[in-house]
Amino acid sequence: MLTRSFCCFRGLSVEAEAMLWRRGCLSWRHLGIEARRVLSPAKSASVIEQLPLFKTALEARSADFFVGRLPAGHRLRIFPAFVQDAAFLDIETTGLSRQAVVTVISVLQNGKMQTFVRGRNLHDFIQVWQGMRVVLTFNGACFDLPFLMREFGFSCKPAHIDLKHEAKCWGLRGGLKEIESRLGYRRTDIESGDGEKAVELWETYEMTGDAIHLQKLIAYNTCDVRSLELLARRIWKLSCQNYPAPHPAS
């Protein structure tokens, strides 16, 4: 869908994009002819001038370029062009203070779930992070990413899409569990809980050494990550719903 998107071009709104679609301009390859017919001379010249930059960015696999230009609510249009480079991520911590530390990280990438646990393999996450082009979180701008940057001392980060803000644009407000309920997603008992329960599970695991508490924490954390993928797909469909043809694969 990315090469069918025009709202990422400077000077074109989502409304202008919808107008172009209605007039039969359905992809970047149509812009050279259709933009002059549909848009004002100044605006069509601007869009045509920008087009080589967008093609170059796509060839270079520059996800950050597109995430920074697509408007809120439509950033998931980078899928499926960047789906192999995207990772869904969620973390658990010992609390919310600056003294709190990361306890569990789960990452879903290319259908493969990986979990990293403090005291076991947490630092193996560094290599995974370095290979990411796009990271998707829920409220990660305020929570996950600041914790990760502080925990590991990362100096840079992949392109980031915060699904909390993307969902809000489509009327899906509240926390992840609240949105799940609205969308009809259901968790098992072991997958249920909240941030406070996650802290308690980790504390109990550390005090007792009983792996069952860690297993419950990991189940809760990985369920969050799988929920992110489901939410992302729902938002992507909403973003593409006005495209007047079957949603293409790029």
The pLDDT profile of the chain, 250 residues, written as one tens digit per residue, is: 899 999 999 999 999 999 999 988 899 988 878 888 888 999 999 999 999 999 999 999 999 999 999 999 999 999 888 988 899 999 999 998 889 999 999 999 999 999 999 999 999 999 999 999 999 999 999 999 999 999 999 988 999 999 999 999 999 999 998 998 888 887 665 555 666 889 999 999 999 999 999 999 999 999 999 999 999 999 999 999 989 876 555 5
Q: Could you tell me the CATH superfamily of domain 83-236? A: Ribonuclease H-like superfamily/Ribonuclease H (3.30.420.10)
Give the predicted TM-score (pTM) of the model.
0.91
Token duo for residue 70:
């697509």
* Domain map (residue ranges) of the chain: 2-60, 83-236
CA distance 116 to 172: 30
The predicted structure's pLDDT at residue 193: 63
In this prediction, residue 194 carries a pLDDT of: 63
Instruction: Using the CB atoms, write b or e for 140-162: b if 16+ within 10 Å.
Output: beebbbebbeebeeeeeebbbbb
